Amino acid sequence: MKGTYVLIIENSKDTEIEIGKIGCIEFKKGFYAYVGSALSGLERRIDRHLRALGDNKELHWHIDYFLAGPVVEVKGVLFAETADRKECEIATNMSMDLASITNFGCSDCTCKSHLFYSTSLLRLKGHVCNSFYDSGLIKLYTVNLNEE
């Protein structure tokens, strides 16, 4: 399956994390949405992001470093099947209304960022869904993790 996905992530307290070649970044307490794509194995890519670091996971992408943070947890995944590269379009839509971490996850494109921030989980999810829809991806799947 090919597609585009967004990881919904909670950072439970203000923290500083070393992000590969970018260096140390201060992350505020709150919720983050990371936009990615996998045009040759969507399920494998999502599984890789969800796999615990104890499983010999190599830190390769910016998101790997963020997810390795001590107070960071993936709360859910939204994704859509598509053979088209839609992650930049979705990221551009999200950048209109959400704060972002400059240069995060976009070293292979011209986007400002692929990681977005909000203090509100509901607001963040709303922007993610709207960005998928605005990009023409109407059939959206959701996986909620660690719901309380």
Residue 147 — pLDDT band, cuts 50, 70, 90? low
For residue range 60-106, what is the model confidence (pLDDT) as tens digits? 899 999 999 889 999 999 999 999 999 999 999 999 999 999 999 99
- Nearest residue to 50 via CA among 100, 82, 8, 111: 8
Q: Running DSSP on this structure, what letter comes out for residue 95?
A: H
Write out the residue range of the structural domain in which residue 8 sits. Answer: 3-144
* Burial class, 101, CB count within 10 angstroms (exposed 0-12 / middle 13-18 / buried 19+): buried
The larger pLDDT score, comparing residue 59 to residue 14, is at 14
Domain count of the chain? 1
* Burial class, 110, CB count within 10 angstroms (exposed 0-12 / middle 13-18 / buried 19+): exposed
CA atoms within a 13 Å half-sphere pointing along the CA-CB vector of 10:
11
Compute the distance between CA of residue 133 and CA of residue 69 in angstroms, rounded to an integer.
31
For residue range 22-72, what is the model confidence (pLDDT) as tens digits? 999 999 999 999 999 998 899 999 998 888 655 566 888 999 999 998 899
